[in-house]
Amino acid sequence: MNKNKVLVVYNTCGIKCDNTDWYIKCINSLLNQDFDDFKVVLSSCLNSPECFKQVYDTFRDKISYCYHAEPHTVNITFNKTVQECVKRFGEFESYLYVDSGCSFGDQTDILEKAYKNFKLNEYGILSIQTDTDTGFQGLGLNFKNDAQEAQVVGKDYIIPLGKAINLHLNIFHNDLYKLCEKIIPDVFAAHCTESTFNYLCASVNRRWAIMKDVMVSHRKSLDGATLCVPHWSPVHRNRWNNLLYGRNALDFINNKEVYRVGLGYEECNNILNYNPGAYDSDNVPLDRDGLTRVIKEFLFLTEKELDYNQFKTKFI
């Protein structure tokens, strides 16, 4: 009996425009992977009926479809799509987030290489390199934001605590889903999500890495970047305190317990630098339960704030 190795979630948004022909090209590159036991789902937020019909008519039952009829951030729509797929197919070993601008092109071995690497090294998150908008320069190793060839070569790069890169093509471990039946923190209106990823991994005793030797093409902000909410908080007048449902980032930034257990946040701007004393010499949190607790409390919305069961979503 086959196992659910990877759920591939291709994320699109039609608020600004539809890029239907590109979507079809990218989904084909996903289906052409020489790999077994994976499923592809289109997570579509407010794409036009014409766009959705064209994609559906092209692929039919080769993929699944989750159509979101309300404007939500991609963090939220991705989480909801994963939930719907788990209801239908059961849990997966891992979940691959694919930005709408990413295409595997003619490379048919990306998924096999990524899955084997992910399993062998027991990563919490594994990022596949893209050729644009990497955010690698924040790692301080002469990496470039755009590149003609893979920048991490020969050996995977373990992202240190306190560092982060951009989310375009990431495999997430099922242990992260099991934290609260969501994967990506959903309190953020736009920026700063990735700054929390290392601490998600730490809470399940895993690491975040960039995969060596492999790179895929990426069209930056193809569908626009989080168009349903402001990128700059109208209340706090900045990007780092721009949370949904009236939340205030200062509630955890100034929280002594949050610092004690080792949560960091937006450290590229020195907003909340993690406490090194909260980790052992192998960067394992000394109070993993405490770290998990503050992550659930401050990085994920409650059901009262946003009930995922009440979404206007159609799953096919």
Q: Taking the mean position of all CA atoms in its chain, how far away is CA 94? A: 12
Report the C-alpha gap between 166 and 169 in whole angstroms.
9
Three-state DSSP class for residue 67: strand
Is residue 65 classed as helix, strand or coil in its secondary structure?
A: strand
* Residue 253 tokens, joined: 């930034």
Contacts of 183 (CB under 8 A, 6+ apart): 78, 79, 82, 95, 97, 172, 176, 177
**Alpha carbon distance 311, 203 (integer Å):** 28
Among the listed residues 125, 173, 161, 139, the one whose alpha carbon sits nearest the alpha carbon of residue 282: 161
**For residue 281, what is the DSSP state?**
T
Average pLDDT, the chain: 96
Measured at the alpha carbon of residue 182, what is the angle toward residues 178 and 187, in degrees to the nearest 5? 135
Tokens describing residue 262: 């080792």
pLDDT in tens, 52-96: 999 999 999 999 999 999 999 999 999 999 999 999 999 999 999
For the cut 60, the answer to whether the pLDDT of residue 2 exceeds it is no
Return the C-alpha torsion angle 51, 52, 57, 58, nearest 10: 70
1: pLDDT strictly greater than 70: no
In this predicted structure, what is the pLDDT of residue 227? Answer: 59
Per-residue CA distances from 127 to 70, 130, 164, 209, 253 (Å)? 29, 9, 11, 6, 27
Whether the per-residue pLDDT at 184 is higher than 60: the answer is yes
Q: Rounded to a whole number, what is the largest CA-CA distance in the chain?
A: 55
- Domain borders along the chain are 6-219+303-315
* pLDDT computed for residue 3 by the predictor: 78
CATH code of 6-219+303-315, in short, is 3.90.550.10
- Residue 209: which of 315, 117, 300 has the closest Cα? 117
**How does pLDDT run across 118-176, given as a tens digit for each residue?**
999 999 999 999 999 999 999 988 999 999 999 999 999 999 999 999 999 999 999 99
Question: Distance between CA atoms of 262 and 93, rounded to whole angstroms?
Answer: 27
199 and 295 Cβ atoms separated by less than 8 Å: yes
- Residue-wise pLDDT for 113-127, tens only, equals 999 999 999 999 999
State the Cα–Cα distance between residues 73 and 71, nearest whole angstrom. Answer: 7
Per the CB < 8 A criterion, the answer to whether 9 and 78 are in contact is yes
Average pLDDT over residues 252-264: 98
